[in-house]
Structure 1
Amino acid sequence: MPAAARARSWPVRLDHCFQRILLDNAAGQAWREAIAPPAYRNAPDALLAKAVRLGEAALAGEADLAELNHRSLAMRGK
């Protein structure tokens, strides 16, 4: 996703930002409230699969990454 970010004018460019956006939206809350860090080790498979589907949808142009980022930030009170 970082490699695609500039060409798509996405609001984030770093791996950990994409992880935050996708995991927060998959969990429906700030991911650290639902999953003990590190998420890749402790998240349920279904939640990880949902996060991957969201990322794939964003890459395919089927999900709005800027909107997902906005939701993620709102979940965090920002």
Structure 2
Amino acid sequence: MATAEGWPISLDHCFMRVCLDAAFGRPWHEAVRRPAVRHMTDADLARAVAVAERIAAVPSLLPGLNAESLRLRGKAKR
């Protein structure tokens, strides 16, 4: 889907980072132990899936969510 839509990120782990960071409102690894999918609550997972579903429905959200994820991690482009 990412490649077909021309999304700015296409690797699964990058998409997961964006969804999890948005779901937690901070870098996900600060909120839950690694690997996230084994340590998240059902509510955490539901929030992350909701973010992914919003992105799938409105792909134009992805660049902003990716930029926010990178900003939260101190990796924003200047």
TM-score by length of 1: 0.89
1:8 partnered with 2:5: yes
Q: Are 2:23 and 2:44, in contact at CA under 8 Å, matched by a contact in 1? A: yes
Give the secondary structure class of the aligned counterpart of 2:51. Answer: helix
Counterpart position of 1:23 = 20
List alignment gaps of at least 5 residues for structure 1.
none
Counterpart position of 1:46 = 43
Shift of 1:63: 6.2
Counterpart position of 1:34 = 31
- Once residues 40 and 9 of structure 1 are traced to their aligned partners in structure 2, the CA distance between those partners, rounded to angstroms, is 27
List alignment gaps of at least 5 residues for structure 2.
none
CA RMSD of aligned residues (A): 1.3
TM-score by length of 2: 0.89
Counterpart position of 1:75 = 72
- Once residues 34 and 69 of structure 1 are traced to their aligned partners in structure 2, the CA distance between those partners, rounded to angstroms, is 18
Task: Count residues with an aligned counterpart.
Answer: 75
- Once residues 16 and 59 of structure 2 are traced to their aligned partners in structure 1, the CA distance between those partners, rounded to angstroms, is 18
Structure 1's consecutive aligned runs of 4 or more residues displaced over 2 angstroms after TM superposition are: none
Shift of 1:43: 1.1
Report percent identity of matched pairs.
Answer: 48
